[in-house]
Amino acid sequence: IHYTAMSTQLVFVLVALSAVAAYDFQDSRFNELLADRLEDWDFSARVRRDISPEDDDSDKFLKCKHHHGKTCCGKGRWLKHFGDKNKEAFSDCFDDFVNKLNASGISTGGDPFSCERVNQMKMKVICTTECVAKKADLIDEKGALKLEKSLGYMEKLELEDWQKPILEEAIKKCVPTANNTLVSTPSTGDIKCNPVLLNLQHCLYHEVEKNCPEDQKKTDGKCKKIFEKTKV
């Protein structure tokens, strides 16, 4: 009887984990962070085309940009670049997706707010994120996240002492539940990409705020409402 009960529980857990959906772009706050990142990728790609690689001014252009999507826990945007700290890598990945889209013959012009263009933007985020995850050796040959590599990636981030244990626990919780099913849209043809790193980033974003120390919580009205919801 005990064996049967344990087996039933195990099956339930496996089903629950496999049922975690890919990020659906319905989280407005996380979307702000993604939009900011997309702007970085696009801007960085244009700067690289217009400025010589030997020119140190390329970083100055990026630093002058106004950024959004900051976390309500701690200063700055310390979670923004989990998996994509390498600027050259994500610029290459961004260009790679654009080239694939152009090679497919699919139009990227027209109404920027049409369903087609919005779907292309979503796939641009998913595919670029998958590409940088591969370059950072964060996913295995089956497309699943590597837990130890993900934990090791924390060393690349500029973390304060209080942030490390929170992020470590969040990674341990989020990695096993990050869905790695390939996704595609009619607006991007045969291009299929793995959203697993994007799913991880979304999970980390909320886990960090859920476990944010009281003395690190921002006190503006927007953040207060967010922390009230995390208590429920």
Assess whether pLDDT exceeds 60 at residue 44. Answer: no
Q: At which residue do the structure tokens 């344990």 appear?
A: 6
Please give the DSSP secondary-structure letter assigned to residue 203: H
The pLDDT assigned to 79 comes to: 67
Q: Which residue has the higher pLDDT, 39 or 48?
A: 39
The one-letter amino acid at 129: T
Mean pLDDT of 211-217: 92
The pLDDT assigned to 137 comes to: 94
Say if 26 falls within a structural domain: no
Res. 84 pLDDT band, cuts 50 70 90: low
Say if 51 falls within a structural domain: no
Say if 78 falls within a structural domain: yes
The pLDDT assigned to 41 comes to: 64
Say if 136 falls within a structural domain: yes
Q: How far is CA 189 from CA 119, 123, 125, 192, in A?
A: 11, 11, 16, 8
Say if 172 falls within a structural domain: yes
Average pLDDT of the chain to the nearest whole number: 77
For the chain, how many structural domains are there in total? 1
Say if 168 falls within a structural domain: yes
Q: Which domain holds residue 121?
A: 74-231
The pLDDT assigned to 76 comes to: 65
Lowest mean pLDDT among 37-46, 121-130, 162-171, 195-204: 37-46
Say if 133 falls within a structural domain: yes
**H/E run at residue 94:** helix 87-103
Mean pLDDT of 180-194: 89
Q: Are 120 and 168 in contact (CB under 8 A)?
A: no
The pLDDT assigned to 89 comes to: 80
The pLDDT assigned to 142 comes to: 92
The pLDDT assigned to 8 comes to: 32
Say if 196 falls within a structural domain: yes
Assess whether pLDDT exceeds 90 at residue 167. Answer: yes
Burial 58-94 (b: 16+ CB within 10 A, else e): beeeeeeeebebbbbbbeeebbbbbbbeebebbbbbb
Distance, CA of 150 to CA of 136 (rounded, Å): 9
**pTM, 2 dp:** 0.78
The pLDDT assigned to 104 comes to: 83
Which CATH number covers residue 210?
1.10.238
Query: Nearest CA to 136 among 86, 81, 199, 195?
Result: 86
